[in-house]
Amino acid sequence: MHDCRPPSRALSRWLQNFESDPVDGRYGHLLLVEKPARDSDLGNQLRPYFESAHRDAREFFAGEIGISLHPDADEDDDASLLYPGCLPDTAKRGLFGEVMAGLVTENYEFVGGHEWSVPIFLFRYHADVEKYLFDLARDAERERAVFGRLGSDFIGLKLDDRGAVVRLIVGEAKWRGELSDAEVETLMLGKWKTNKRNGQRTRRGGIWAEINRDIDVPHGVRQLQRLLRERDRDGHAAAIVSMDKALVLRNPVPIARTNLIMIVGNGKAKRGEGEALLTWETIPEEYTSPHDLQVVEVILKDGEDLIDEIYDLLWKV
């Protein structure tokens, strides 16, 4: 289970907070910009949270590969095959964005003022990573790119006094090496596609399309419920039952939902202080979902160096 609280003091020293008032009570925007001087020990300060976020998947994938994580196991030579350190750099960049979604959700106040918890991350359901690790453990020449995980990047819960789920936060988390205007536009609206028959160009995909068409209780909730049943059935009994009621096909019990869009990456070369990537004064016109929306933008400088530092430190200190 994920059991590490966010390192709040480290975050406040690292990121400057530009928070706006909610729009119509249903749209929140939070801009977090890296301060000029990065703490030389920041990676180590973030390490416990990242280890906690990845622990379930690390244990699961090790079992699937056939590697023992027991302290007395004589398998030191297999350390280079363990998740997530052995993944390609591009995959680690994506994982960083998804962990950051949990980190900011648990640390900052979002639209609605709800108290969110992240009992466990869904990384073990990354099917292509499982196959990649299984093959790589048996053939060192099998290094390749890894396809992204399908479904919601992140799911958090709001629990009532009994521990039942009363609200979901469902997130799309994206990392980009440079958050230029064109890159953000493509990220949100999708890539241009040309119709071969009439030559017309239209955009397809993008975060807006994905989040607007997502079903109210997505598949990730079933995955989360399955994990809670396996890892902490007694501790999350009420949450498991409430999710079951929301997931039945006939007469499901509705659960309120907040959507989260998390964009993290290196800022463009020229940007003004407090300059946001997406509009914050009004609800974006592209957003048509009925659910509350929280946008978080994390603007870094040389973010790849920090990501490499964090993932090099995991389970090595």
| Number of domains composing the chain | 1
pLDDT confidence of residue 68: 80
Q: State pTM to two decimals.
A: 0.94
In a domain, 281, yes or no: no
At 120-142, the pLDDT tens digits run: 999 999 999 999 999 998 988 88
How many CB atoms sit inside 10 A of residue 313's CB?
Answer: 17
Predicted confidence (pLDDT) per residue in 17-66, tens digit: 998 999 999 999 999 999 999 999 999 999 999 999 999 999 999 999 99
What is the domain extent for residue 66?
Answer: 8-273+288-313
Q: Is residue 123 part of a domain?
A: yes
Tokens of 120: 């466990």
How buried is 270 (Cβ within 10 angstroms: 0-12 exposed, 13-18 middle, 19+ buried)? Answer: exposed
278 within domain boundaries: no
User: 77 pLDDT exceeds 60?
Assistant: no
Q: Specify whether the CB–CB gap between 290 and 92 falls below 8 A.
A: no
Could you tell me if residue 154 is inside a domain?
Answer: yes
In a domain, 3, yes or no: no
Give domain status of residue 279, yes or no. Answer: no
Whole-number mean pLDDT of the chain? 94
**In-domain check, residue 283:** no
SS3 55: helix
Structural domain includes residue 141: yes
